[in-house]
Structure 1
Amino acid sequence: MTERALTAETVELLQTMIQNACVNDGTRESGEETRNADTLQHFMEGAGLDVQRFEAVEGRASIVARIEGSDPDAPSLCLMGHTDVVPVSPDGWSRDPFGGELVRNDDGVEEVWGRGAIDMLNLTSSMAVAFRDLARSGFRPKGDLIYFGVADEEAGGTWGAEWMFEHHPEAIDADYCLTELGGWSTVDDHGHRHVTVNVGEKGLAWRRLRVSGTPGHGSMPFGADNALVKAAEVVRRLSEYRPNPRLGPTWTGFVDSLSIPAELKSAMLDPERVYDAISTLPVPQARMCHALTHTTISPNVAEGGQKTNVIPDTVDIEVDIRTVPGTSYDDVKAMLDDALGDLAPHVDVTDLQVGVATESPTDNDLWDTISKRTQIVYPDATLVPGLVVGGTDARFYRQRGRVAYGAGLFSPSMDFATFGNRFHGHDERIDVESLALATEFWIGISKDLVG
């Protein structure tokens, strides 16, 4: 098909997937990804592809399609896109968040609007269109090419990628995997373009901290052993604690791509000065830079107390801890003990969710292929290895020794600030040019890597 026709297919498929409103609020019953699974299955079967369907929980379906390779020893590639989206606050939107409208903005740029347009239905749909086009064209690769439309990414993959690897690994395992979070670009002061490909992501070390006290009557608080008062101090200490930075090659590449003064760059590469240097940046940029260089500790939920006139004896605090690569379980324990100080004996710590940070190397054929296909659109562009500060399903591949990247290819208008503002934000949308670039990107990579 022509590039224009493929782009039209991607736009239409993206619109439908947005309209299916597969909203994952973290509960077992949410998501209803079966709607997007139905859409993708119908789309793939229209090209004569056999589609496998897997349903960990009723309504939480994932689909897998495969173009089998001729050489069992050749490398295989999985194009993985999740089908669920996060909830919305409709009052903050200028348009229906599930309308999937195609809108021409004031600058004449066509954009598809809706929840998931950035995260990550744009890639899920463009991957599907690329995969189907290859199948229709009679593409017969040496290595297997797999399409994986997966449920439940937005809540950690329990009913999606994690479940699939536990129950049906043969359906989705591949030497290489491409999925979300990458592809935006920046141009430095010398006019050189840097395109981010995320090669790793931080680990999860979520903890529940139970703070204990002694119950009593609220009318006599003097000298009371109030668990809530102690919990407030625990929260304060956690929020002010500064773990040591970790400045590796990924951070160095990121700093080199920034258009900032040389002295600031020097400070951001110095472990003794990086925290203060980051503090001088605009808040949105500072948040990202801090998360890229530090294990972060964020107390986000507190529950306790029974009644207004009863001094509480127990308060639970749930803490979101994200670890930089190289941080062990014992390291997290040591950080918490250090942060809590003399309060540590009064706090019982239990695990909520634990997963090590993961990284893939860049000295391989997939990295070289991404670089080649990126430079077709952006000649002489440099790939910058990045780190995802949240979580993606790529980690399930990396944990098995596979190479997995968060990649993509966007139009020049999609820089990091634009991407970040729309990700999980109000008025989420993607320009049609980016959809066109991504579709051709997946086709080219597939042909080069497994063809």
Structure 2
Amino acid sequence: MDPAELCARLIRFDTSNRGGGDAEGEREAAEFVAGLLTDVGYAPVVLESAPRRSNVVVRVPGEDRDAPGLLVHGHLDVVPADPVLWSVDPFAGEIRDGFVWGRGAVDMKDMCAMVVSVLAGWAREGRRPRRDVVVAFVADEEDNGEFGAGWLVKNHAQLFEGCAAGISESGGVSHEVEGVRLYPVGTAERGTAHMRVTASGRAGHGSRRNEENAVRRLVAAVHRVAEYEWPVQLTPTVREFLVRTSSALGVRCDLGDVPGTVERLGAAGALVASTVRNSVTPTVLSAGYKVNVIPSTAVAELDARALPGSGDDLLATVDRLLGPGVSREQLVYNPAVESPVDSPWFESMAAALRAEDPEAVVVPYCLGGGTDAKAFARLGIHGYGFSPLRVPEAGYDYRAMAHGVDERVPVAGLEFGVRVLDRFLLGC
């Protein structure tokens, strides 16, 4: 099956996820994928966590049934797109100028299409992987996974029995820096802690002095959090990224001066700049109902990201910075995850990339955000970001594509990714 055409057809299912349970199109996309797999001889199961919130899981038996299994997971939902801002219909799935255009082209219907293409090729040619490969196409990743990976892990863990590692989005994509072609593979993800903070005070008239003004308390607390300089913390993944990337680029690596090393890495440093520290970003503010009334409460929401091993310290620091009169409520807490860099899994991914691109320099990196790997980690499955693509050296900003306007993926990149995944999944 042609991966570009598959990607385009998947994009034509509007699977927009607006959050809070408001999503559409996941059932149709899931049934389409399940139908393709059934037609070539597999036996996928479609599981609905709620009406129209559909997931597809299929196990491909390997030749060595004693070898640990591998999970491949991708999400079928996408973030919404405003067609007014786009130069094409974001759900038309156009193929032109060497690209597949549309919402989800890189996040992550490209990976879903490549995986289906690989499985179809195996079925057509009568090939089997060395180990069991379990493939999951899930709902709801663009919210919190409640109807997708999180639900599968809680209610259908047996489907992933024997899987020791998993691959998914956000890794294995070429990144040209000063003539060196890097392929960062995700081996860690910062943890996610979304929180609501509420300042309490005394209601009153806006014209009168009020030392217990909830808005003032909230603004001061949020300012302290936003301006706090989080200390540098070197995780194993980030340390290896700095060492290996510096070596490839001929840059001096000083682990005692991480900011300086990141700066010397230039464009490569941008891949790691957000993952040498924790972060807390104010994103929502709400207070009051009338301009001349001081409210008794004021509320903010904060998006916190914690490096592996630092989640408790981050929360304690936020509580200290908020100060008296301000309470914290946890909305979402998904701990950070980190998988071994020195592992056969990582080496197999690197070998598959180098087989298709002999100039590939494969390095580990830490995702600043997160994926469904956090949910599957609860089953003891090591997660890796490996959705391989080779993208153009110039004129195409891959990092701006996900959730961006005019999202698109190169056709040649999809074909490259199919070859890499085929090598990796068959022989790892």
Q: Deviations over 1:119-161 (max 9, x none)?
A: 1110011111111221232223453222211111111211100
Q: Find the counterpart in structure 2 of residue 10 from structure 1.
A: 3
Q: Find the counterpart in structure 2 of residue 304 from structure 1.
A: 287
Give the deviation of 1:416 after TM superposition: 12
Is 1:175 the equivalent of 2:164?
Answer: yes
**Larger CA deviation: 254-263 vs 391-400:** 254-263
Alignment of 1:178-197 (within 5 A): 178-189=167-178, 191-197=179-185
User: Matches of 1:47 and 1:206 in 2, distance apart?
Assistant: 43
Give the deviation of 1:77 after TM superposition: 1.6
Q: Find the counterpart in structure 2 of residue 99 from structure 1.
A: 92
Q: Find the counterpart in structure 2 of residue 434 from structure 1.
A: 413
* Cα pair 1:186 1:415 within 8 Å, conserved: no
Q: Find the counterpart in structure 1 of residue 82 from structure 2.
A: 89
Alignment of 1:410-449 (within 5 A): 410-413=389-392, 418-449=397-428
* Cα pair 2:183 2:363 within 8 Å, conserved: yes
User: Matches of 2:142 and 2:24 in 1, distance apart?
Assistant: 9
* Cα pair 2:75 2:108 within 8 Å, conserved: yes
From the superposition, tell whether residues 40 and 383 of structure 1 become closer, same or farther in structure 2 (CA, over 3 Å): same
From the superposition, tell whether residues 188 and 291 of structure 1 become closer, same or farther in structure 2 (CA, over 3 Å): closer
Aligned length: 425
* Cα pair 1:112 1:432 within 8 Å, conserved: yes
Q: Deviations over 1:192-217 (max 9, x none)?
A: 43211001100012221110110112
From the superposition, tell whether residues 35 and 252 of structure 1 become closer, same or farther in structure 2 (CA, over 3 Å): same
* Cα pair 1:111 1:431 within 8 Å, conserved: yes
The residue type paired with residue 108 of structure 2 is M
Alignment of 1:25-40 (within 5 A): 25-40=18-33
From the superposition, tell whether residues 58 and 358 of structure 1 become closer, same or farther in structure 2 (CA, over 3 Å): same
In the superposition, the TM-score normalised over structure 2's length comes to 0.92
Give the deviation of 1:354 after TM superposition: 0.8
Q: Find the counterpart in structure 1 of residue 230 from structure 2.
A: 243
The residue type paired with residue 20 of structure 1 is F
Task: Give 2:328's match in structure 1, choosing from 330, 349, 353.
Answer: 349
Task: Give 2:193's match in structure 1, choosing from 189, 195, 205.
Answer: 205
* Cα pair 1:243 1:335 within 8 Å, conserved: no
User: Matches of 1:63 and 1:375 in 2, distance apart?
Assistant: 31
Alignment of 1:17-416 (within 5 A): 17-104=10-97, 110-173=98-161, 174-189=163-178, 191-220=179-208, 222-255=209-242, 256-257=244-245, 262=251, 266=254, 269-271=255-257, 274=259, 289-329=272-312, 331-340=313-322, 344-413=323-392
Give the deviation of 1:444 after TM superposition: 1.2
Q: Find the counterpart in structure 2 of residue 3 from structure 1.
A: none
* Cα pair 1:78 1:147 within 8 Å, conserved: yes
Q: Deviations over 1:21-65 (max 9, x none)?
A: 100111213143112101101111110211101000111101112
Q: Deviations over 1:60-112 (max 9, x none)?
A: 101112222354322212221110101112222111111110111xxxxx100
SS in structure 1 of the partner of residue 324 of structure 2: helix
CA RMSD of aligned residues (A): 2.5
* Cα pair 2:70 2:132 within 8 Å, conserved: yes
* Cα pair 2:31 2:46 within 8 Å, conserved: no
User: Matches of 2:391 and 2:271 in 1, distance apart?
Assistant: 21
Percent of aligned pairs sharing the same letter: 31
User: Matches of 1:414 and 1:50 in 2, distance apart?
Assistant: 40
Q: Where does structure 2 lack aligned partners over 5 or more consecutive residues? A: none
Q: Where does structure 1 lack aligned partners over 5 or more consecutive residues? A: 1-5, 105-109
User: Matches of 2:13 and 2:422 in 1, distance apart?
Assistant: 26
From the superposition, tell whether residues 277 and 147 of structure 1 become closer, same or farther in structure 2 (CA, over 3 Å): closer
User: Matches of 2:287 and 2:271 in 1, distance apart?
Assistant: 32
**Larger CA deviation: 364-373 vs 19-28:** 364-373
User: Matches of 2:130 and 2:340 in 1, distance apart?
Assistant: 23
